[in-house]
């Protein structure tokens, strides 16, 4: 077991202000694998000061110079793929192949995209007799969750750096080891001291201190809606910028003309990926009543291909496992039909939940409304297209979704009516350059690609 004692601030590892630590647990075997310091308001303050001190120099670094250092960071992350993937497996429980391909592969691609975008972004534009300058917002406080530990960090830090902002990161307490590796990569890439700073710690202590710090100009948060609401209120009170990436309850709408077998198979894979701990997961499958029982049988057969402990890893923590089990029990209690899985422990050790499929789920049930964040799929039945639309749009969320139809134009026409930030048409691939973010209570702001970069800029107009 490793005991870490430092925070990364001002370009070096410095001892934490206090003595408290956080135990990092491997969710597959429930063993403590490391301790990291639990940062305090004092640590956050030191990190914010370092970020402020580094801001003028970094903001004045030409975009090509920033781009070169982001490219170097991408290269360092790629070079350490094995170590980062093993760390994500150890602290999150992700299966090895998924850890390499998605948990490391995706953020490496995103970091690469920002090296390119930083170099080519129009930081100046001409509008009539004005020159509009797109300038960095300033010091960014980034608060990230554990579900995609490296991706969530890179999706905030890379565009912030590309924009010329400096950053203080408070990563999730469940997955701080990946964040430490990220800080090491930043250091190896040669970013100037203070441009990126890391404070590990608990949300209500270090996270709260960062969100409330007057030296932070923009707070970018990804996590639960409950915490996001508080952070939004704190930022609003201080009149500072805020970006919130919150939960989802996305609908996978299978129209009657669709290839049902394909739509169900891809839909099940989508929900089981990362043990269901994905904010954009299509956790509600909507099927026309005429083909509903056929879809239930297909889903039952598809989920059997996801053995727990192999393709489906454990949930991140005992707390998260208990939460998910509670939802499964509630689904049964509210009258949904359990087709596969259930609340029982599928393995003797580890925070595992069996891949679970519910049929006969109705729109008002708790499992059809609330984000479960586990390997749990609900199948809902609709009578006609208007009914499907009402059900799909009938939650407080609006993060992602899918539409399947025999004809692409038919799927697109339906997608236009969905209140959600992303829709995959007939299984369209994830695009790391497309804006990602929510309608309604799924959030404020967008991440990834040029839209993600624009979040970290503010404009100044010069009139001639
Ligand atoms: P959370 O919102 O509590 O934690 C996310 C981050 O916010 C962590 O870094 C945490 O330390 C920090 N945080 C917590 N309280 C804070 C506070 N008062 N001030 C500032 N920062 C604070 O999420 P969780 O408890 O880890 O997960 C709970 C639920 O949130 C999940 O079941 C899931 O539904 C949802 N979730 C969504 C996403 C997403 O990507 N949208 C990611 C993780 C969790």
What's the whole-model pTM score?
0.98
The pLDDT, as a whole number, for residue 447 is 98
User: Has residue 234 been placed in a domain?
Assistant: yes
The pLDDT, as a whole number, for residue 325 is 98
Name the residue with the closest Cα to ligand 1, atom 27: 224
DSSP 142-181: EE--SSSHHHHHHHHHHHHHHHT-EEEEE--TT-HHHHHH
Same domain, yes or no, for 153 and 242? yes
Query: For this structure, is 279 an active site residue?
Result: yes
Ligand 1 pocket residue status of 117, Cβ below 6 Å: no
Residue 94 — very low, low, confident or very high, per pLDDT cuts 50/70/90?
very high
CB atoms within 10 A of CB 383: 11
Same domain, yes or no, for 453 and 345? no
Same domain, yes or no, for 364 and 401? yes
Residue 329 has pLDDT above 90, yes or no: yes
Tokens matching residue 376: 């749990």
Selection from 78, 72, 292 nearest residue 190 by Cα: 72
The pLDDT, as a whole number, for residue 26 is 98
The tens digit of pLDDT for each residue in 270-279 reads 999 999 999 9
Same domain, yes or no, for 406 and 291? yes
- Choosing from 91, 173, 279, 447, the catalytic residue is 279
Expressed in angstroms and rounded, the spacing between residue 373 Cα and the centre of ligand 1 is 11
Same domain, yes or no, for 213 and 257? no
User: Has residue 94 been placed in a domain?
Assistant: yes
Same domain, yes or no, for 349 and 419? yes
The pLDDT, as a whole number, for residue 1 is 81
Q: Report the nearest atom of ligand 1 relative to the CA of 323.
A: 32
Same domain, yes or no, for 7 and 85? yes
Ligand 1 pocket residue status of 225, Cβ below 6 Å: no
Residue 450 has pLDDT above 90, yes or no: yes
Report long-range pairs for 222-226 (Cβ below 8 Å, ≥24 apart).
Answer: 222/143, 222/144, 222/145, 222/152, 222/155, 222/156, 222/246, 222/279, 223/143, 223/144, 223/145, 223/172, 224/145, 225/371, 225/396, 225/441
User: Has residue 195 been placed in a domain?
Assistant: yes
User: Has residue 116 been placed in a domain?
Assistant: yes
Same domain, yes or no, for 222 and 350? no
User: Has residue 191 been placed in a domain?
Assistant: yes
CB atoms within 10 A of CB 7: 29
Give helix 385-392 / helix 408-415 axis angle, nearest 10°. 50
Element (H, E) at 141: strand 139-143
Tokens matching residue 444: 């404020």
Tokens matching residue 339: 């087709």
The CA distance from 191 to 281, in Å, is 35
- Choosing from 245, 410, 447, 455, the catalytic residue is 245
Average pLDDT over residues 37-58: 98
Ligand 1 pocket residue status of 447, Cβ below 6 Å: no
Same domain, yes or no, for 173 and 191? yes
Expressed in angstroms and rounded, the spacing between residue 360 Cα and the centre of ligand 1 is 30
Percent of the residues in the chain that have a pLDDT greater than 70, as a whole number: 100
Expressed in angstroms and rounded, the spacing between residue 401 Cα and the centre of ligand 1 is 22
Q: Report the nearest atom of ligand 1 relative to the CA of 174.
A: 26
Average pLDDT over residues 203-225: 97
Expressed in angstroms and rounded, the spacing between residue 227 Cα and the centre of ligand 1 is 6
Percent of the residues in the chain that have a pLDDT greater than 90, as a whole number: 99
Same domain, yes or no, for 41 and 112? yes
The pLDDT, as a whole number, for residue 5 is 85
Ligand 1 pocket residue status of 224, Cβ below 6 Å: yes
Expressed in angstroms and rounded, the spacing between residue 224 Cα and the centre of ligand 1 is 4
Query: For this structure, is 173 an active site residue?
Result: no
Residue 305 has pLDDT above 90, yes or no: yes
Ligand 1 pocket residue status of 247, Cβ below 6 Å: yes
Residue with tokens 């998605």, as numbered in its chain: 102
Report long-range pairs for 329-334 (Cβ below 8 Å, ≥24 apart).
Answer: 330/366, 330/367, 331/358, 331/361, 331/365, 331/366, 331/367, 331/376, 331/378, 334/365, 334/366, 334/367
Q: What is the CATH number of the domain that holds 390?
A: 3.40.309.10
Domain that holds residue 64: 2-246+442-463
Ligand 1 pocket residue status of 373, Cβ below 6 Å: yes
User: Has residue 290 been placed in a domain?
Assistant: yes
User: Has residue 379 been placed in a domain?
Assistant: yes
Ligand 1 pocket residue status of 187, Cβ below 6 Å: no
Q: How many domains does the chain have?
A: 2
Residue 249 has pLDDT above 90, yes or no: yes
Expressed in angstroms and rounded, the spacing between residue 121 Cα and the centre of ligand 1 is 32
Q: What is the CATH number of the domain that holds 30?
A: 3.40.605.10
User: Has residue 437 been placed in a domain?
Assistant: no
Ligand 1 pocket residue status of 234, Cβ below 6 Å: no
Average pLDDT over residues 123-142: 98
Ligand 1 pocket residue status of 326, Cβ below 6 Å: no
DSSP 283-338: -EEEEEGGGHHHHHHHHHHHHTTS-BTTTB---S-HHHHHHHHHHHHHHHHTTPEE
Expressed in angstroms and rounded, the spacing between residue 203 Cα and the centre of ligand 1 is 8
The CA distance from 157 to 152, in Å, is 9
| Ligand 1 pocket, mutate which of 39, 106, 148, 227 (most atoms under 8 A from CB) | 227
Same domain, yes or no, for 321 and 446? no
Name the residue with the closest Cα to ligand 1, atom 18: 204
Residue 140 makes CB contacts below 8 A (sequence gap 6+) with 51, 156, 160, 165, 166, 167, 168, 216, 217, 218, 219, 220, 456
Same domain, yes or no, for 215 and 132? yes
The pLDDT, as a whole number, for residue 385 is 98
């Amino acid at each position: 077991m490793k005991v870490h004692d430092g925070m990364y601030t001002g370009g070096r590892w410095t001892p934490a202000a206090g003595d408290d630590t956080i135990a990092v647990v491997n969710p597959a075997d429930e063993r403590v694998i490391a301790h990291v310091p639990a940062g305090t308001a004092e640590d956050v303050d030191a990190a914010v000061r370092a970020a402020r001190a580094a801001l003028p120099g970094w903001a004045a670094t030409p975009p090509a110079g920033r781009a070169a250092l982001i490219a170097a960071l991408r290269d360092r992350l790629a070079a350490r793929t094995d170590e980062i993937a093993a760390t994500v497996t150890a602290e999150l429980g992700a299966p090895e192949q998924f850890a390499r391909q998605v948990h490391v592969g995706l953020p490496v691609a995103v970091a690469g995209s920002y090296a390119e975008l930083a170099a080519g972004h129009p930081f100046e534009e001409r509008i009539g007799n004005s020159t509009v300058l797109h300038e960095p917002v300033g010091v960014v406080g980034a608060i990230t969750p554990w579900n995609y530990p490296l991706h969530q960090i890179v999706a905030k830090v890379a565009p912030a750096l590309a924009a010329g902002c400096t950053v203080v990161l408070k990563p999730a307490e469940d997955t701080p080891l990946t964040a430490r590796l990220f800080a090491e990569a930043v250091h190896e890439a040669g970013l100037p001291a203070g441009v990126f700073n890391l404070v590990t710690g608990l949300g209500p202590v270090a996270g709260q201190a960062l969100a409330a710090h007057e030296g932070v100009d923009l707070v970018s948060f990804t996590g639960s809606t409950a915490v996001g609401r508080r952070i939004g209120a704190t930022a609003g009170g201080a009149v500072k910028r805020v970006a919130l990436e919150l939960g989802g309850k996305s609908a996978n709408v299978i129209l009657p003309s669709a290839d049902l077998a394909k739509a169900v198979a891809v839909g099940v894979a989508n929900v089981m990926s990362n043990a269901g701990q994905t904010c954009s997961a299509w956790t509600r499958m909507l099927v026309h009543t005429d083909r509903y029982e056929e879809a239930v049988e297909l889903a039952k057969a598809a989920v059997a291909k996801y053995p727990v402990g192999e393709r489906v890893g454990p949930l991140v923590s005992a707390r998260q496992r208990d939460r998910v089990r509670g939802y499964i029990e509630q689904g049964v209690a509210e009258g949904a039909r359990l087709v596969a899985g259930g609340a029982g422990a599928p393995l003797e050790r580890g925070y595992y939940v069996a891949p679970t499929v519910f049929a006969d789920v109705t729109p008002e049930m708790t499992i059809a409304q609330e984000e479960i964040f586990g390997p749990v799929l609900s199948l809902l039945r609709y009578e006609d297209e208007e009914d499907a639309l009402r059900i799909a749009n009938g939650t407080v969320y609006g993060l992602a979704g899918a539409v399947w139809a025999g004809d692409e134009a038919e799927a697109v026409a339906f997608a236009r009516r969905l209140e959600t930030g992303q829709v995959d048409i007939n299984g369209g691939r994830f695009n790391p350059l497309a804006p990602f973010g929510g309608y309604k209570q799924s959030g404020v702001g967008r991440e990834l690609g040029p839209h993600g970069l624009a979040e970290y800029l503010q404009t100044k107009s010069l009139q001639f």
